[in-house]
Amino acid sequence: MFLQKWQLAHFTLVLQLLAIIFCSIMIATRSNSDFISWIGIAQEGSIASSISALLVQTTILADMIFFALIYIKGLRMLLSQTWHLLPISSSKLYLANLLTNVLSCAYIFVIQIIGVLAGEFILSLVDKKYQFWQFLGENFQSFTSQSSAAIMDDLAPFIFLILIVLFLTSFVDFTNFSSRVVTDFLPLKNIKWVRWAINVILVIIGMYLFMKLDTYFGRMYYSQASKLNYIAQNLRFVNISNLELLFGTIIFGGIDIYLINRYLETRIK
């Protein structure tokens, strides 16, 4: 399962590299100012700073595309009769899909970080005025001189990224599985539009409930955290967003496993 998603990571990285090369040529030659503005790159700065911003933007876009690709791949595996021939339960197969999604995202993220650093190194060689490495060194020194609690705060975004992958996978699986369960009981031949409608309705309801619960639990969490000195001083990285994503993943993941075991029918693929 991971190997197939691993191949998608390489495919996404190749697309990102081609996009970077093409856009870098456009930026370096300033041949199309409308195109440069369209991709959100400021034309007033130096070429090195513009390409540096391009590296970050293409990384974010590539990550979004990659998550969509591995989700579709994982969904097809979960609904494939071939994968269910493996000597493991449907529940373990679902958990394996979640785990491989996280590992795949971590894999492509590490490669992208290395690629961005390599790109910044090349830019610093080409443009002597570009002081990226000095900026990076100062920030690294500042990071290592922090207290352990402050370092854990800086690591919170990485925990958030892991949880957001788990939450998005489990929630989108919930909408897809629920719509399939409903349409399986409908006496209709063309049910794709019904399935899409159910997905849209569930997403809207989910977003509404999430915003309401976020407000409620946010107030409750911070009112209690202020009273607990240990959490307030030593576990600041355990913030409300991470807890909400964790609980949401557990809830939707549990529902997904129930739907897979009780209602969903696999197909030969």
Do 181 and 256 meet the contact criterion of CB atoms below 8 Å apart? no
Question: 80 forms bridges with which residues in the sheet?
Answer: 267
Residue 151, pLDDT > 70, answer no
Residue 107, pLDDT > 80, answer yes
Q: Which is more confidently placed, 249 or 155?
A: 249
Q: Which of 37-46, 67-76, 170-179 is the least confident region?
A: 37-46
Give 160-166's long-range contacts (Cβ < 8 A, gap of 24+). 160/241, 160/242, 160/245, 161/105, 161/109, 162/102, 162/106, 163/242, 163/245, 163/246, 163/249, 164/245, 165/67, 165/101, 165/102, 165/105, 166/98, 166/101, 166/102, 166/245, 166/249, 166/253
Residue 180, pLDDT > 70, answer yes
pLDDT in tens, 52-67: 888 888 899 999 999 9
pLDDT category of residue 171 using cuts at 50, 70 and 90: very high
Give the C-alpha separation, 79 to 180, whole Å. 11
pLDDT of residue 150: 61
What is the average pLDDT value for the chain, to the nearest integer?
A: 78
pLDDT of residue 215: 78
pLDDT category of residue 179 using cuts at 50, 70 and 90: confident
Residue 154, pLDDT > 70, answer no
Cα 141–143–144 angle (5° rounding)? 70
Predicted TM-score (pTM) above 0.85: no
* Phi and psi angles of residue 224, each rounded to the nearest 5 degrees, phi first: -85, -40
pLDDT in tens, 8-23: 999 999 999 998 888 8
Average pLDDT score over residue span 253-258: 92
pLDDT of residue 144: 59
pLDDT of residue 267: 58
Give the C-alpha separation, 38 to 170, whole Å. 34
Residue 149, pLDDT > 60, answer no
pLDDT of residue 166: 94
Q: Calculate the alpha carbon distances from 214 to 158, 161, 246 in Å.
A: 20, 18, 13
Domain chopping of the chain, boundaries: 1-145, 147-269
Do 119 and 51 meet the contact criterion of CB atoms below 8 Å apart? yes
Residue 203, pLDDT > 70, answer yes
pLDDT of residue 229: 47
pLDDT category of residue 158 using cuts at 50, 70 and 90: confident
